[in-house]
């Protein structure tokens, strides 16, 4: 993954509200990441790399249910990335 794209994903992860997925400011940052990834040809970022950048749920101060919700949110964002890339590719006629 390019450093620019990775930085945008790290910035999103650091500022995201994982308890409430879909907040407008979070989604705007995530769209910037998707567009950057698309522009540099990163159309197939592996799930494990994506999750590594978003960070782990090793925080011991949260319960198992909260960890599951956070993981579900991260999976939702990965699906959003894949769907965004697919939409951009279709729009460009690739």
pLDDT per residue over 12-28, tens digit each? Answer: 998 888 778 788 999 99
Contact predicate 17/38, CB 8 Å: no
Q: What is the distance between the alpha carbons of residues 49 and 40, in angstroms, rounded to a whole number?
A: 17
DSSP state of 85: H
pTM: 0.86
pLDDT per residue over 52-93, tens digit each? Answer: 999 865 555 778 888 888 889 999 999 999 999 999 999 887
* 33-47 average pLDDT score: 94
């Amino acid at each position: 993954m390019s450093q620019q794209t990775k930085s945008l994903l790290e910035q999103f992860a650091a500022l995201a509200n994982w308890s409430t997925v879909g907040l407008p400011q979070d989604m705007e940052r995530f769209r910037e990441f998707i567009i950057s990834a698309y522009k540099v040809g990163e159309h197939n970022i592996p799930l494990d790399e994506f999750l590594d950048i978003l960070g782990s749920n090793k925080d011991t101060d949260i319960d198992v249910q909260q960890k599951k919700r956070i993981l579900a949110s991260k999976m939702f964002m990965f699906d959003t990335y894949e769907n965004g890339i697919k939409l951009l590719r279709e729009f460009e006629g690739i």
